[in-house]
Amino acid sequence: MTDTKPTVLVPGKIHPRVLERLQGQFDVLQVPVGDDPALSDEQAATVRAIAVAGAVSETLMAALPNLEVIANFGVGYDGVDVAAAAKRGIVVTNTPDVLNDEVADTTIALLLNTVRRFYAAETWLRDGKWESEGPFALSPLSLKDRHVGLYGLGRIGQEIARRLEPFKVKISYHTRSKKDVSYTYVGSLKELAQSVDTLICIVPKTDETHKVIDAEILAALGDNGVLINVGRGWSVDEDALIAALEKGTIAAAGLDVFYDEPHVSKGLMPLANATLLPHVASASVPTRNAMADLVADNLMSWFDKGKPVTPVAETPVK
């Protein structure tokens, strides 16, 4: 690096380990979230990088004439206007792979809890009902002999599939293109829902995935069906899901993500056949530390070598 430290803008909150790693090698400028960071022209001109756990708009990019790189904390980068960054020659990075195992592990735990109701059983015990009222009710569902469909088979989807194999379930999948895997490919989401009884959603936020799991897909999944969503809440029509759970159109759902986080639809709250987690799939100290390290490593690599560690495919690399 040159003697002059590059300035990294941090809009809003980010994992403290990112800030710790950047100290000493960068000038870190923290500002509130927003398109207008209230910087002077002189300050804006010094900013060459952004480290963010949230959104970066084209408006913010335009306010920073010397911006070179945006390091996103998370594998999903839908909050960053990647098209605008590409037009401006700004590189965008994310944090893939370091959270694959944690998210896949959480997905299996969420699935098991959804079909076997372990949290409800533990609550029964802790409330003293096992002693006062007798054994907890038999779970109406089981993972045994299920046919699991993965909507999305990227890095995390494949890790989920590998973890499902020892459970001796049948595995199918739908993606935009067929993968070189042993699982059964299905040509459309509706066909997948019709052919399976357990649907795991692990797709990113795109125009094509907006509320794609709707009343039609849920009806196709059927009254023995289980929906698990660890991708984006954006992909599920929550009103349709609530109606399906209330009416028994599907049997149960396990959700780690929601349409308007941290707001959760009130209709989901009282449903005993819905397992709800506050977006914790990657939320362990080791995994979040690894994500933070990759944010810092991307910035350091960019300014040391002119090439980040994990650029997203849509952005140019010098």
Q: Would you say residue 55 lies in a domain?
A: yes
Q: Do 61 and 106 fall into the same domain? A: no
Taking Cα atoms as reference points, which of 43, 39, 80 lies closest to residue 295? 80
Between helix 155-164 and helix 100-116 the angle, nearest 10°, is 50
End-to-end CA distance of the chain: give it in Å, rounded: 17
Q: Would you say residue 2 lies in a domain?
A: no
Q: Would you say residue 268 lies in a domain?
A: yes
Can 17 be counted among the known catalytic residues?
A: no
CA angle 259, 262, 268 (to 5 degrees): 60
DSSP 166: G
Residue 131 tokens read as 């002693």
How much is the pLDDT for 2? 47
What 3-state DSSP class applies to 92?
A: strand
Q: Do 262 and 219 fall into the same domain? A: yes
32 or 286, higher pLDDT: 286
Return the half-sphere exposure (C-beta side, CA atoms, 13 A cut-off) of residue 28. Answer: 20
Q: Do 269 and 129 fall into the same domain? A: yes
Q: Would you say residue 311 lies in a domain?
A: no
Q: Do 83 and 145 fall into the same domain? A: no
Q: What percent of the chain has pLDDT over 70?
A: 97
Q: What Å distances lie between residue 296 and 47, 61, 69, 255, 300, CA to CA?
A: 16, 20, 12, 30, 6
Give the strand pairing for 226-229 and 252-255: parallel
Distance of CA 39 to the CA centre of its chain: 31
How much is the pLDDT for 14? 96
Q: Would you say residue 317 lies in a domain?
A: no
Reported as a pLDDT band with limits 50, 70 and 90, residue 186 is very high
Instruction: Please say if the pLDDT value at position 225 is more than 90.
Output: yes
Q: Would you say residue 173 lies in a domain?
A: yes
Of 20, 122, 246, 261, the catalytic one is 261
Query: What is the pTM (predicted TM-score) of this model?
Result: 0.91
The total domain count for the chain is: 2
Reported as a pLDDT band with limits 50, 70 and 90, residue 33 is confident
Q: Do 214 and 138 fall into the same domain? A: yes
Q: Do 131 and 246 fall into the same domain? A: yes
- Alpha-carbon distance of 314 to 10, in angstroms, equals 22
Of 155, 163, 210, 279, the catalytic one is 279
Q: For residue range 68-89, list pLDDT tens digits in order.
A: 999 999 998 999 999 999 999 9
Q: For residue range 298-310, list pLDDT tens digits in order.
A: 999 999 999 999 9
Q: Do 64 and 127 fall into the same domain? A: no
Of 68, 232, 238, 288, the catalytic one is 232
Taking Cα atoms as reference points, which of 106, 186, 101 lies closest to residue 150? 186
Q: What percent of the chain has pLDDT over 90?
A: 93
Reported as a pLDDT band with limits 50, 70 and 90, residue 248 is very high
- Rg of the chain in Å (alpha carbons): 22
Instruction: Please say if the pLDDT value at position 202 is more than 80.
Output: yes
Q: Do 140 and 45 fall into the same domain? A: no
Q: Which residues pair with 172 in a beta bridge?
A: 149, 184
Question: Which CATH number fits the domain that encloses residue 242?
Answer: 3.40.50.720
Q: CB count, 10 Å around CB of 298?
A: 26
Residue span of the structural domain in which 266 resides: 100-276
Instruction: Please say if the pLDDT value at position 317 is more than 50.
Output: no
Instruction: Please say if the pLDDT value at position 35 is more than 80.
Output: no
Can 174 be counted among the known catalytic residues?
A: no
Give strand ranges (E) for 89-188: 91-93, 147-151, 170-174, 184-185
Instruction: Please say if the pLDDT value at position 289 is more than 90.
Output: yes
DSSP 91: E
Q: For residue range 136-158, list pLDDT tens digits in order.
A: 999 999 999 999 999 999 999 99
Q: Do 163 and 266 fall into the same domain? A: yes
How much is the pLDDT for 1? 44
Q: Which residues pair with 11 in a beta bridge?
A: 31
Q: Would you say residue 313 lies in a domain?
A: no
Element (H, E) at 105: helix 100-116
What 3-state DSSP class applies to 59?
A: helix
Between helix 118-126 and helix 100-116 the angle, nearest 10°, is 70
Q: What is the mean pLDDT of the chain?
A: 95
Q: Would you say residue 252 lies in a domain?
A: yes
Q: Do 74 and 105 fall into the same domain? A: no
Q: Do 135 and 266 fall into the same domain? A: yes
Q: What average pLDDT score do residues 220-238 get? A: 98
Can 58 be counted among the known catalytic residues?
A: no
Q: Do 86 and 117 fall into the same domain? A: no
